[in-house]
């Protein structure tokens, strides 16, 4: 005859972990095979917008004589803001119509290389972001690439990626 485990034995009614593989009443331990569902926090993203000397110098080397009169602003504080909603437009305010993009680069010091409708940051289904160039005059590059991204094609962005628009503006995307 097989006897049940004695009280206090592992797996027994009063042993560690409770009776017969289940926790004792009041225990915070989950029964075997039970996986607690962790609540996922929504991903939060933010951007930092500011002039970028390295990008400006690379742009000047690739530009023609029309860029000769451009100067990097002596002072332009970085702006930080959260990414919210499904998309954010990047460009310059159109004074004739009053249309203002979500990220308005016409505020002093205005970046003259930014189109009125330059690019869009678009939230992806997984919560990450992508950038889409809107067929801008001077293009949009990512992470210092020499060639601009293709217009109207979303380019996925990762934490720390840098989106370059205009003559000197860099938008750095951060997760968390």
Q: Is residue 159 domain-resident?
A: yes
Question: 87-91 and 103-104 as β-strands: parallel, antiparallel, unpaired?
Answer: parallel
Q: pTM value?
A: 0.72
Q: How far apart are CA 43 and CA 87, in angstroms?
A: 15
- Which of 107, 103, 95 is closest to 165 using CA atoms? 103
> What is the predicted pLDDT for the residue at 36?
47
CATH number, position 118: 2.60.200.20
Element at 55 (helix H, strand E): helix 53-62
Q: Is residue 107 domain-resident?
A: yes
**Residue that the structure tokens 């460009």 belong to:** 91
For the chain, the first-to-last Cα distance in angstroms comes to 61
Query: What tens digit of pLDDT does each residue of 110-162 get?
Result: 888 899 999 999 999 999 999 999 999 989 999 999 899 999 999 999 999 99
Tokens of 31: 């029964």
Q: Is residue 53 domain-resident?
A: yes
Q: How far apart are CA 49 and CA 162, in angstroms?
A: 10
Q: Give the domain range for residue 113.
A: 45-65+80-175
Q: Is residue 23 domain-resident?
A: no
All residues at 6 or more sequence positions from 71 whose CB lies less than 8 Å from its CB, including other chains: none
Q: Is residue 8 domain-resident?
A: no
User: Of 43-52, 63-72, 155-164, where does mean pLDDT reach its minimum?
Assistant: 63-72
The distance of Cα 120 from the centroid of its chain, to the nearest Å, equals: 13
Mean pLDDT across 165-171:
93
Q: Is residue 121 domain-resident?
A: yes
How many structural domains is the chain composed of? 1
Q: Is residue 27 domain-resident?
A: no
String of b and e for 83-110 (b: at least 16 CB within 10 Å)?
A: beeeebbbbbbeeeeeeebebebbeebe
Q: Is residue 1 domain-resident?
A: no
């Amino acid at each position: 005859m097989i006897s049940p485990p004695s009280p206090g034995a592992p797996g027994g009614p009063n042993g560690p972990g409770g009776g017969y593989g289940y926790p004792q009443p009041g225990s915070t331990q989950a029964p075997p095979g039970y996986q607690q569902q962790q609540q996922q926090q929504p991903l939060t993203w933010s951007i930092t917008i500011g002039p970028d000397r390295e990008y400006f110098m690379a742009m000047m080397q690739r530009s023609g004589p029309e860029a000769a009169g451009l100067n990097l602003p002596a002072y332009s504080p970085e702006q930080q803001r959260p990414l919210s909603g499904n998309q954010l437009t990047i460009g310059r305010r159109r004074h004739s119509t009053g249309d203002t993009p979500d990220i308005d680069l016409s505020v002093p010091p205005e970046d003259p290389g930014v189109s009125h409708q330059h690019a869009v940051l678009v939230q992806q289904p997984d919560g990450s972001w992508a950038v889409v160039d809107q067929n801008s005059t001077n293009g949009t590059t990512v992470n210092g690439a020499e060639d601009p991204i293709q217009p109207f094609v979303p380019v996925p962005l990762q934490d720390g990626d840098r989106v370059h628009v205009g003559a000197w503006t860099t938008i750095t995307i951060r997760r968390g």
